[in-house]
Homo-oligomer: A and B are copies of this chain.
Amino acid sequence: MGEFRRVKIGVVGLGRMGRRHVYNLMYRVPRSQVVAVCTNLPHEIEWAQNNEEYNDFGVAIYEDYDKMLQHPGIEAVWVSTSTDVHAIQSLKGIEKGLHVLCEKPLSTDLDESQRVVDAAAKKPELKVMAAFSRRFDASYRDAAQKILVDRAIGKPFMVRSQTGDLLDTTGFFVRYATRNGSIFVDCAIHDIDLTLWYLDDPVPKACWATGSLQHHPELAESHDVDNAVGVVEYWGGKMAYYLCSRTQAHGHDVSTEITGTEGKIQVNVIPRTNKVVLCNKDGMTHEVEREYWDRFEHAFATEAQEFINSILHDTPVPLPLATGQKVMQIARALQSALWSGEVTRWNEKGEIIYEGKPKWETVMNGHAK
């Protein structure tokens, strides 16, 4: 009988996503073992203490992140807190010699996230990854196979991609939004990441964006909008355009189209929560996933499995940290274009050569009242 090794993991952050990571690690990743969780929010502590499953699985509960990092035998940390503490918590994990899987993005500040990249580079024995769940989704992977391997659409040159969240009327989103960066940084980074993937790592040349505030007036304080459209021109005749929306009425509507010289691939252009259609006097209706978890639950499981495998077999992480940096730079440039109303420009090396200054008045005048 062989030895069955499980990677011991601590999860920091027990909000919606943190709990889901724990669930996934328990139910979908048999080679992992959640040995500890950590949160500094009293109601989350209480929730965890009362959680029968956590008890059964023997999960230790910490209020202090530094203490969790010293949990006996801990090998890896899962960072699923709000974006503003991603980098510092990742750095601490790396410093302690732990593998780190950090929710995207590492930081909304490029310098800060670069420090994580640098720290990881100094400890190549550690697996450090920023989670981009779509890279692990079966449909996006099938698209990649068809585009990059089968060459089913000839030479790809254009991406249309959107991240549309269901309108949240509970107030949860507004509280969350202020800590997670503005709309392009929070939403479009997935779409930009897909663009880099499918268009074979193109270099941005120019971008412009506009947006509107339709439902969440509270966002005006942080100069954010709840719907935004951006276009990025890449060097070499490539281009991409993105919609970010916080206010979809029908569900979580996240789709991507990649156009090449000989065809087009669509991913989830018609979202469907399952295989049921109701036919009644209104016509034929299908429901749409309510949120990213409904859409990407299996992708998160695959992500966790593959990350754990990279630890067990000491192979490269599925997605290099550096990709995330490029993505974030473009997301911030779009945000900057939205705020300035001007075109952001790059040279052929991908260095920004022009960026407008925010004109808050202008931005806000365009918004719905």
Interface residues of A (CB under 8 A from B): 1-5, 26-30, 52, 55-58, 60, 138-139, 142-143, 146, 152-155, 157-158, 160, 205-206, 208-215, 227, 229-231, 233, 235-239, 241, 243, 245, 247-251, 253, 259, 261-288, 341-343, 366-368
| Shortest Cβ gap from A104 to chain B (Å) | 21
Q: Once the chains are docked, how many angstroms separate the CA of A252 from the CA of B190?
A: 29
Q: A247 — which chain B residues lie within 8 A by C-beta?
A: 261
| Shortest Cβ gap from A335 to chain B (Å) | 15
Q: Once the chains are docked, how many angstroms separate the CA of A231 from the CA of B229?
A: 8
Q: A267 — which chain B residues lie within 8 A by C-beta?
A: 275-276
The answer to whether B250 and A281 touch across the interface, beta carbons within 8 angstroms, is yes
- Given the known interface contacts A250-B263, A264-B248, A280-B263, the answer about A3 and B287 at a Cβ–Cβ threshold of 8 Å is no
Q: A227 — which chain B residues lie within 8 A by C-beta?
A: 157-158, 239, 259
Could you list 7 A-B pairs, sorted by A, with CB under 8 Å?
A27-B28, A212-B239, A249-B279, A264-B280, A266-B278, A266-B284, A284-B288
Nearest-CB residue, chain B, relative to A235? B366
Q: Once the chains are docked, how many angstroms separate the CA of A17 from the CA of B211?
A: 39
- Given the known interface contacts A2-B56, A160-B243, the answer about A152 and B368 at a Cβ–Cβ threshold of 8 Å is no
- Given the known interface contacts A139-B276, A157-B227, A250-B263, the answer about A30 and B2 at a Cβ–Cβ threshold of 8 Å is no
Q: Which of B57, B139, B238 contacts A274 (CB 8 A)?
A: B139
Q: Once the chains are docked, how many angstroms separate the CA of A81 from the CA of B214?
A: 44
The answer to whether B30 and A261 touch across the interface, beta carbons within 8 angstroms, is no
- Given the known interface contacts A2-B58, A229-B239, the answer about A249 and B280 at a Cβ–Cβ threshold of 8 Å is yes
The answer to whether B268 and A275 touch across the interface, beta carbons within 8 angstroms, is yes
Nearest-CB residue, chain B, relative to A2? B55
The answer to whether A56 and B368 touch across the interface, beta carbons within 8 angstroms, is no
The 6 closest A-B pairs by CB, nearest first: A2-B55, A263-B280, A237-B368, A250-B279, A208-B208, A283-B287
The answer to whether A138 and B281 touch across the interface, beta carbons within 8 angstroms, is no
The answer to whether B262 and A279 touch across the interface, beta carbons within 8 angstroms, is no
Q: Once the chains are docked, how many angstroms separate the CA of A277 from the CA of B206?
A: 30
Q: Once the chains are docked, how many angstroms separate the CA of A5 from the CA of B53?
A: 11
Q: Once the chains are docked, how many angstroms separate the CA of A267 from the CA of B172?
A: 32
- Given the known interface contacts A210-B206, A231-B231, A341-B343, the answer about A266 and B279 at a Cβ–Cβ threshold of 8 Å is yes
Q: A1 — which chain B residues lie within 8 A by C-beta?
A: 55, 58, 60
The answer to whether B286 and A264 touch across the interface, beta carbons within 8 angstroms, is no
The answer to whether B283 and A288 touch across the interface, beta carbons within 8 angstroms, is yes
Q: A280 — which chain B residues lie within 8 A by C-beta?
A: 152-153, 249-250, 262-264
Q: A160 — which chain B residues lie within 8 A by C-beta?
A: 243
The answer to whether A367 and B237 touch across the interface, beta carbons within 8 angstroms, is yes
Q: Which of B236, B262, B266, B276 contacts A277 (CB 8 A)?
A: B266
